Chains A and B, each alone.
Chain A
Amino acid sequence: MGNMNDAFYERFQKRWMETTDLPPQTVGPLTPYYKLVTKRLKVMPLPILILLSLGVIIALFFLLGSGVTFLTSLLQRGF
Chain B
Amino acid sequence: MFDSLIIAVYSFARSFIGIITRPYETYRKIINKGTLWELFPIGALLSLYFGINALVKAPAFRPFVLTRHFVKTSVSVVITAFLISFLLWSIGRVFGGKGQYKRFFLGWSYTLIPTFFWFLFTSLLYVIIPPPRTTHPTGIALSIVFLTLSAVLFFWKIILSYLTLRFGLKLDLLRILGILLVSSPIIALYSIAMYRLGIFRVPFL
Interface bin, chain B: 35 or more
Interface bin, chain A: 35 or more
Is A54 part of the binding interface, using a Cβ–Cβ cutoff of 8 Å?
yes
Is A44 part of the binding interface, using a Cβ–Cβ cutoff of 8 Å?
yes
**Chain A contacts with B in 32-71, Cβ cutoff 8 A:** 34, 38, 41-46, 49-50, 52-54, 56-58, 60-61, 66, 68-71
Which residues of chain A are near B170, meaning CB under 8 Å? 21-22
Task: Label chain A's interface by main secondary structure.
Answer: helix
Is B60 part of the binding interface, using a Cβ–Cβ cutoff of 8 Å?
no
**Chain B contacts with A in 64-82, Cβ cutoff 8 A:** none
Q: Which of chain A's residues has its CB closest to B57's CB?
A: A79
B133 contacts A69, CB within 8 Å? yes
Which residues of chain B are near A29, meaning CB under 8 Å? none
Count CB-based A-B contacts (< 8 Å): 108
Complex-state Cα separation, A50 to B202, whole angstroms: 22
Which residues of chain A are near B156, meaning CB under 8 Å? 45-46, 49
A69 contacts B132, CB within 8 Å? yes
Which residues of chain A are near B132, meaning CB under 8 Å? 69-70, 73, 76
A68 contacts B201, CB within 8 Å? no
Known A25-B172, A56-B151: A61·B126 in contact at CB below 8 Å: no
Is A2 part of the binding interface, using a Cβ–Cβ cutoff of 8 Å?
no
A57 contacts B131, CB within 8 Å? no
Q: Which of A18, A42, A56, A79 contacts B32 (CB under 8 A)?
A: A18
Q: Which of A23, A42, A56, A66 contacts B23 (CB under 8 A)?
A: A42
Q: Which of chain A's residues has its CB closest to B139's CB?
A: A69
Which residues of chain B are near A41, meaning CB under 8 Å? 23-24, 159
Which residues of chain A are near B94, meaning CB under 8 Å? none
The distance from the CB of A38 to the nearest CB of chain B, in whole angstroms, is 8
B147 contacts A72, CB within 8 Å? yes
B126 contacts A79, CB within 8 Å? yes
Is A75 part of the binding interface, using a Cβ–Cβ cutoff of 8 Å?
yes
B139 contacts A22, CB within 8 Å? no
B: which residues have CB within 8 A of A?
A: 20-25, 28, 32, 53, 57, 119, 122-123, 125-126, 130-135, 139-140, 142-144, 146-152, 155-156, 159, 166-167, 170, 172-173, 201-202
Can you report 10 A-B residue pairs in the complex whose CB atoms are below 8 A from each other? A23-B172, A43-B24, A46-B156, A52-B155, A53-B155, A66-B140, A70-B132, A75-B150, A76-B132, A77-B126
